[in-house]
Structure formats: C-alpha cells, structure tokens
C-alpha cells in the first residue's frame, strides 16, 4: 500500500535537509521492506515458505546443541561417577576421570567463545539493526504469558498474537542467557580452586560445585521438557535446522511477523507491477 505522497515540484532550500532525511528514511524503509519481502519464497505449486533463521543462527544452534550435549554428558559423568553406567563409560571411553574433566573444560571454552560471539551479534541485531520483534524483553511480555496461561486454562478464547518469537521461545532463551554466566562462573571457581581461595573463603568451592551441578540439572531438564516440547512434541518445527517455515505454521505461531512479511511482499509486488 503506497502512501499518498504529494508531488513536490520545487524544492525549497530551507526544506532541503528535511527532504533529504525523508528520502533517506524512505530508502531505508524500502531496503527493510525489500529484505522482509525476500523472506518469502513462492514455490512452483504456489505454496509459500518463510525464511525464519539465517545461516549464522542455524550454525549457532548447532554449536550450542553439540557443546551443551558434551558438557551435559561429561558433567553428569563427573557428578555421578559412581553410577555403574558412568563409571563404565569413564573407564571405557575416557580411561580416566581426569580426561572427562579435560573434555568438559575444553568444551566449556568453546561454549564461552560461542556465548561471546552470540552476545556481540545479538547486540548489533537489537540495537544497530533494530530488527522488529526481537528477543529483547518488552512491556507486553508479562501480559502475553498471562494471556497464554488464561487461554490454556480456557478463560479467554483468543490466543495472544506473537511476533518473531513466541513467549515460550523468549522464556527459554532468557533462561539460557541467565544460566550460562552462572555455569561459567561456578565452573571457573572449581577449575582454579587455589586462586579462588586466595580471595574467598574455601567454602565457595563446594558451594560453586553444588550450584554448578544444580543449575546444570535445571538446564538439562528445561531443554528436555520445555524446549523439546515446544519445538518437537507440540509440532514438528525444524526451522532451526532448515531455516524455513511453512505458511500455516507461520500464521499459527508468528502471525504478526507473517503479516509483516506478507505486507512487505505485496508492497514490493505492486511496486514491480507499477513499473
């Protein structure tokens, strides 16, 4: 839908700056519209697929998936080393619990590096690119969660409409974001006990150990229940691996984003027809 923009035959010098800014804004908006419109792919049979994740996001997910799995397994092995299955695994695969520890620490380094990379990237997405519907918490999140619960309980009939991320996805993401520094901190305390005890009482070491293992327990539980429920059990959502989402799923889960993409798409289409 084109806004009715009046023709400006004569450019007033005092209005030049404003006109330039307006043009810039228009161009920027057009670029964004084009980018949005690019996110819809029309197949030969007329069905439409939406690009949900970029390659860098898919890669990040893969790396988190791998490192998290390794950290979980090696962590559990160390924590419950006396269990027969873990004791067997340690002795058969790693030969020594020291080796398990070494693998855990090496993976942790990769994990921290990944976290830092993601942190830098997400800041640009949020504050430089200013992508709409980002993971940043916003005012409506609380009421969204409440409405979702009310809807599930049956007290309201209409589901709240979500943008790029549902409230469940936001919760999962922020849980990970808070969990990661706790794990890194408590992990480092255990890694360098002699240094830590120069600054803090010795009790922080066993404390860090129990917090580390309890947090890990929570994280693993969240991934296995919350995350898997919302992405695998609820509906087969493979967009984090393929990057694509069907129109029906898009409309159902991300109606606001869907609407925005379709709008951009149609705008570009009409612009092309007008030419």
Partner 1 sequence: MPEIKFFTKNKLLIIFLAVLLLLGLELRAETVRAGHMAGSGSRLGDIGRLMIIPANAAVHSSPASLSNSNCIMCHQYDKFKGVTRDSQQVSLTVDEQGFNQSVHGQAGVFCVGCHTTFTTYPHSDVEQVTCEQCHEQNITVVANLPYDNPRAMVAHFNETCRSCHPNEYSANSIHSSVAANGQINTPLCTDCHGGHEVQPPADPPERITLTCSRCHTAVYEDFQSNQHNSADPLTQTCADCHIPHEIQAAPAEPAATPQPTPAEESGDQSYLNQWNSTCTMCHAYPNLIGKAEDSSTVSLTVTEQELSESVHGKAGLGCAACHPSTTGYPHHDTEQIACSTCHGSANPEAEIVANLPYESTRALSIQLNEACRTCHEDQYKASADSMHTKAFEDGNQQAPLCVDCHGSHSVQSTEGSRASISQSCAKCHTAAYTSYQSSVHGAAIEKDGNPDAPTCADCHGVHTVSGPSQANFRNESVATCTRCHQDQEMMSKYGVSTGLFDPNTDNFHGVALSLYDQRSSDQMGDTPVCYDCHGVHTIRESADPLSTVNSANLLGTCQKCHPNASSRFASTGLSHSSSTGAALAFQDWIERIYAIIIFAILALLVVYILLDARKRWTEKKRLTQPAATGK
**CB of residue 117 vs partner 1: minimum separation in angstroms?**
27
What is the C-alpha to C-alpha distance for residues 132 and 249, in angstroms, rounded to an integer? Answer: 19
**CB of residue 165 vs partner 1: minimum separation in angstroms?**
16
Using DSSP, state whether 46 is helix, strand or coil. Answer: coil
**217 touches partner 1 (CB under 8 A):** yes
Candidates 43-51, 52-60, 67-75, 193-201; binding stretch for partner 1 (CB under 8 A): 193-201
**195 touches partner 1 (CB under 8 A):** yes
What is the C-alpha to C-alpha distance for residues 102 and 74, in angstroms, rounded to an integer? Answer: 9
**CB of residue 75 vs partner 1: minimum separation in angstroms?**
12
**198 touches partner 1 (CB under 8 A):** yes
Residues shown for the chain:
275
Candidates 6-14, 20-28, 145-153, 258-266; binding stretch for partner 1 (CB under 8 A): 145-153
Contact by Cβ (8 Å): 172, 222: yes
The count of other CB atoms within 10 Å of the CB of residue 254 is 23
- The residues with which 246 forms a beta bridge, in sequence order, are 49
**Which string of x and - marks every residue 54-83 that binds partner 1 (by CB under 8 A)?**
------------------------x--xx-
Choose which of 43, 201, 236, 272 interacts with partner 1 (CB under 8 A): 201
- The residues with which 48 forms a beta bridge, in sequence order, are 42
Contact by Cβ (8 Å): 179, 216: no
Candidates 6-14, 21-29, 113-121, 188-196; binding stretch for partner 1 (CB under 8 A): 188-196
């Amino acid at each position: 839908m084109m806004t009715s923009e009046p023709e400006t035959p004569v450019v007033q010098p005092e209005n030049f700056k404003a006109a330039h800014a307006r043009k810039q804004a228009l161009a920027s908006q057009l670029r964004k519209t084009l980018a949005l419109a690019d996110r819809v792919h029309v197949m030969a049979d007329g069905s439409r697929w939406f690009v949900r994740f970029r390659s860098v996001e898919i890669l990040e997910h893969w790396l988190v998936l791998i490192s998290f799995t390794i950290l979980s397994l090696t962590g559990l092995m160390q924590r419950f080393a006396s269990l027969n299955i873990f004791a067997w695994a340690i002795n058969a695969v790693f030969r020594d619990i020291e080796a398990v520890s070494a693998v855990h620490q090496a993976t942790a380094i990769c994990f921290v590096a990944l976290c830092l990379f993601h942190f830098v990237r997400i800041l640009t997405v949020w504050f430089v690119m200013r992508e709409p519907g980002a993971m940043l918490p916003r005012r409506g999140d609380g009421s969204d969660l409440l409405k979702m619960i009310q809807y599930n309980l049956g007290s309201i009939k209409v589901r709240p409409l979500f943008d790029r991320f549902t409230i469940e996805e936001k919760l999962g993401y922020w849980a990970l974001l808070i969990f990661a520094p706790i794990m890194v901190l408590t992990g480092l305390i255990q890694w360098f006990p002699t240094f830590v005890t120069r600054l803090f009482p010795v009790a922080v070491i066993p404390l860090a150990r129990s917090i580390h293992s309890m947090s890990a327990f929570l994280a693993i539980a969240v991934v296995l229940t919350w995350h898997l429920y919302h992405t695998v059990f609820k509906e087969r959502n493979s967009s984090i691996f393929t990057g694509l989402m069907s129109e029906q799923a898009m409309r159902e889960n991300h109606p606001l984003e869907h609407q925005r993409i379709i709008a951009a798409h149609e705008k570009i289409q009409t612009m092309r027809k007008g030419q």
